Structure 1
């Protein structure tokens, strides 16, 4: 399919506007036009914004050409304001201003200089030259430097005398044992599995060529000063940033709701964490953001903190009102990291913005594979920190990155960025429409109900400006009579539908740019059939309430690296082991889902924590407990010995 690219020509002067469009389209017809550039006239009023956001044609708009107006017309301020509104709504658009003379640039620079990609002058009647520049702009956005280099190299069919050992898939061919793997994976994928022995493909550890070019395009697309590709997920991305910003003993404030990789980063960096308890919706067993008042109090009480890290949005789609929080942190000299693993798509639709970077975050990590089209494990690190130390960051990045990265993961990041920029708005607009449709249809079943923001929010977050990502649907199944485990099994066994996750009384659906009309139809059909098979409503056992964070006896790193001893979770009578009370945990104990640590290394164990773990094991079959040790078929906790604890420096 040949792409269509609309150039929106915006002017209050119809006598100028239409001839410019005609000239651009005539020039496009006379030259190679691979991206399908087509000039479309539009008045300099709200209709221009409506055109850019139109469900029907707005998705094709890639370039906006705004006429500043002739001298003395008084059109300039309105034109610049409209240009700013267009870019505020869709920052991925390319903006060109048409000026009368250089003096007009002063007003433009005051209001929209950062957003302007280029200038033309009214007195120069050169539609062919203008089109050439606009076509080059679109070509740059459509460029995938790394993917192109990889594809071209594979097409050259070089003999492989280097790693990997399967030698472009030749090791699998004609094998009676593993030959089917070649057919399953595909010849091109295996040929593209190369090594750092190919100079033309650059080096992820020290990029200077096509990877560096691809990262620069990604930084521009996502609104960052610099962007780095990560091939082992946002988990490693978080650790790299921690080790770059924190030295042993440095204090950081962190959302206890953070992904376990953040807590691993605390161990690796040797930092002194101040854990902030997240809000909890106890009825549905869902963890929300940390209350704004808690964050504000922590910033005031810990002026020596170096870093604040938050998760936005959460697994269930809850997003912080980040701007005032980041401003508070920056006023105290604290850098802000936002884990946007589940929100990497937000930049490309106005309904989802602002992003963390747009709110002033210093760092944002995104799982490009979760909600955009990159392969699994493919993530990005975005940097806006004015004090960024690139050398130190690179050293820490290389400490975690493989010297043999999977090149198809890098290529998928390059392609995912291109798709997000050129058609992300259209695809996300479609996903949001599907989300609204599913919400209405599922609610109409009478047995299932998609929870609203108000229903998801714990009481203490009601006034915090929390918003909901509409592409994440949390379904209350209470009235259906189905248990969550049984319903999930029915969906996958009978209807071939795999959901994202579930709690004891909810299911979570994730809509992405890959959601299709057929999938929506099949899902609704399944929910309708299951609703007709509703059962007597269950009395759900209330989820055990996670205890509040206790105290740290020592740094997490210190506790983790001690040998410790293992004590059973249950005593000889099958009750919570009282001998654990007051001991110091060596490991991170994480119920999954939701993946929030109940214990972290260095934390003092209280009786409520032991009781909570025991209740989870006894009542919640769908939850796994990560971090417990097994010994003689029983669950054990690794704790510091008395001698180890006495030898470790206490937390100050």
Structure 2
């Protein structure tokens, strides 16, 4: 199947434009054209912008420097900048009359322009070859191509892994079915560092390095690193690169648990920021902007600020003013963009965290793009980046036997995002809007809008919503979230992303199709017709605000401690816990926010909250509590352990 790569030529010189389109079109017929280059024209800047908005197959734009010269001598440069701001993945070339014009374009739009031609030349074959080479470079998958090449070479394996390209499984009466299930190519491509031609993830100098450079260009980063053990590990790598034991960092309490684990591993001194809470729907949103800015001012010695944007529910910070305030104090900004890796490739989702000035961004490429699970990227724009220190920390966490299929999937996911991400995401946005309307038309279920999701304290913070994440209010259906999730799964073969006590979340991605939208709508319509009487939901108890730390989280975590029961003999919150220092991260899931972190002082509000959850919310998992004979136990520091911790003096 040959792709389509449209090239848009923009000029208000009708005769010149017609001649160039004819010449380039003839070259496309005569020469080898594996990328399906076709050429179309546009007579003015506005028409060109409308064309690239409507046509996701446009890959290259050629702009005549003389465009609209009578109105503005810089019209061509202005158009180049506008195209780059709208769809940065598009390649841009400018037709010049002389070298003096090139200097002017370079001054105004050098970041946007990929190359130049001279407008009075008629080297159509040469131009075509250059444009075809541009598409080849953008669409290259150096690692994936080399992996395929190696598999086709059919080398005998005298190295790891032990299944030897699947030969240990093939034909087995006991496990041969696994070989058939996963497929020969996947097993043949499961290789190891014993194959030098496939490069090394821990010290890339070949095809992995090339693939990472292409990813950095695509996502707008100075450097990009592939990670095969998820954004969880990526966050920890950055923490250990930027933070030494005792260094202070500011973090959203609602950050992913990997961030809290990173606090423990790095030995950092955290300042926890309470997130906003929508109590009606049990949704935790961004930290109020005022809270973040106050924390920046109150902690000028902080080294790092980390925020999550967008959140699991699609809520995005207005990052630029926050990043600017942090940088003014010399604070590095990390943004966990695990759920937002697609944002660079459609203007509806931008600006990205990198475009807003973030120093480090982690993305779960597998969550919303086409990479395999666990495949993630780390993007770096920090002008003071210490690459050697980063590499040492990266290698500390990365496996010496990475899964090469994950690396290949990152290469392929980047290619797809660059070459057809705009077109596919445009379709996804239309499907999201269509699904929103269909769900609302049931009269029972309702997709929540931004104003529904925001709590009062963040309504003026410039927060926006990723429209591909739909949170559905199920309150009028008469079903609990667990009942509805199970019904959709068992009766209609539909698996949703997550639930709260009265909502369910639907995630639309580049893989969402109209057929899936139709089936989901049909299922929800059928459920709506079987409407039960609305029920009164038992809301989650309000999560207590953060108390205080008695010592560094790392110090508390690595002590032995002792275990005390959460409840006393009468089934009430155990008063013996009040005033003690927790050793573990205690996280009720959902919502997944730590109620206690290592080093935190336990107060009565916390024990009461945990006790009430245990009694009233039977489906909630209590991560971080030990179990002993069916009884929940909390690991706390012994008094003598706390007394000898050197870091406790920081908190006294």
**Match 2:489 to one of 486, 492, 499:** 492
Which residue of the partner structure matches residue 583 of structure 2?
A: 586
Which residue of the partner structure matches residue 532 of structure 1?
A: 529
Which residue of the partner structure matches residue 53 of structure 1?
A: 53
2-structure distance, mates of 1:560, 1:318: 32
Which residue of the partner structure matches residue 36 of structure 2?
A: 36
Which residue of the partner structure matches residue 169 of structure 1?
A: 166
SS of structure 2 residue aligned to 1:338: strand
CA contact (8 A) 1:69 1:75 kept: no
SS of structure 1 residue aligned to 2:291: helix
CA contact (8 A) 1:12 1:75 kept: no
1-structure distance, mates of 2:590, 2:432: 23
- C-alpha deviation, 1:504, in angstroms: 0.3
Select between 114-123 and 133-142 the one with higher mean Cα deviation.
114-123
- C-alpha deviation, 1:502, in angstroms: 0.2
* 2:202 pairs with 1:213: no
- C-alpha deviation, 1:611, in angstroms: 1.1
* 2:568 pairs with 1:571: yes
**Match 1:264 to one of 261, 283, 297:** 261
* 2:88 pairs with 1:91: yes
- C-alpha deviation, 1:44, in angstroms: 2.2
Which structure 2 residues correspond to residues 67-466 of structure 1 after superposition, within 5 A?
67-69=64-66, 73=70, 76-466=73-463
Residues 271-290 of structure 1, C-alpha deviations (whole Å, 9 max, x = no match)? 00000000000010000000
2-structure distance, mates of 1:29, 1:262: 55
- C-alpha deviation, 1:507, in angstroms: 0.3
Select between 274-283 and 587-596 the one with higher mean Cα deviation.
587-596
1-structure distance, mates of 2:481, 2:199: 48
Residues 469-522 of structure 1, C-alpha deviations (whole Å, 9 max, x = no match)? 000000000011111111001000000000000000000000000001110000
Select between 92-101 and 558-567 the one with higher mean Cα deviation.
92-101
Residues 236/72 of structure 1: CA separation in 2 closer, same or farther (3 Å cut): closer
2-structure distance, mates of 1:76, 1:262: 51
- C-alpha deviation, 1:618, in angstroms: 1.7
- C-alpha deviation, 1:120, in angstroms: 1.1
- C-alpha deviation, 1:613, in angstroms: 1.1
Q: Over the residues paired in the alignment, what is the CA RMSD in angstroms? A: 1.1
**Match 2:466 to one of 469, 483, 486:** 469
How many residues are matched? 649
- Please report the TM-score for the alignment, with normalisation by the length of structure 1: 0.98
* 2:511 pairs with 1:511: no
SS of structure 1 residue aligned to 2:532: coil
- Please report the TM-score for the alignment, with normalisation by the length of structure 2: 0.98
- C-alpha deviation, 1:21, in angstroms: 1.2
Which residue of the partner structure matches residue 25 of structure 1?
A: 25
- In structure 2, runs of 5+ residues without a counterpart are none
- C-alpha deviation, 1:73, in angstroms: 4.9
- C-alpha deviation, 1:130, in angstroms: 1.0
CA contact (8 A) 2:263 2:553 kept: yes
1-structure distance, mates of 2:616, 2:74: 65
2-structure distance, mates of 1:557, 1:566: 18
CA contact (8 A) 2:589 2:622 kept: yes
2-structure distance, mates of 1:482, 1:74: 63
- C-alpha deviation, 1:74, in angstroms: 5.5
Which residue of the partner structure matches residue 639 of structure 2?
A: 642
SS of structure 1 residue aligned to 2:632: strand
2-structure distance, mates of 1:72, 1:63: 22
SS of structure 2 residue aligned to 1:6: strand
- C-alpha deviation, 1:11, in angstroms: 1.2
Residues 642/70 of structure 1: CA separation in 2 closer, same or farther (3 Å cut): closer
Residues 359/483 of structure 1: CA separation in 2 closer, same or farther (3 Å cut): same
2-structure distance, mates of 1:20, 1:261: 55
Which residue of the partner structure matches residue 13 of structure 1?
A: 13
SS of structure 2 residue aligned to 1:38: strand
SS of structure 2 residue aligned to 1:365: strand
2-structure distance, mates of 1:45, 1:205: 46
* 2:601 pairs with 1:604: yes
Select between 5-14 and 522-531 the one with higher mean Cα deviation.
5-14
- C-alpha deviation, 1:394, in angstroms: 0.3
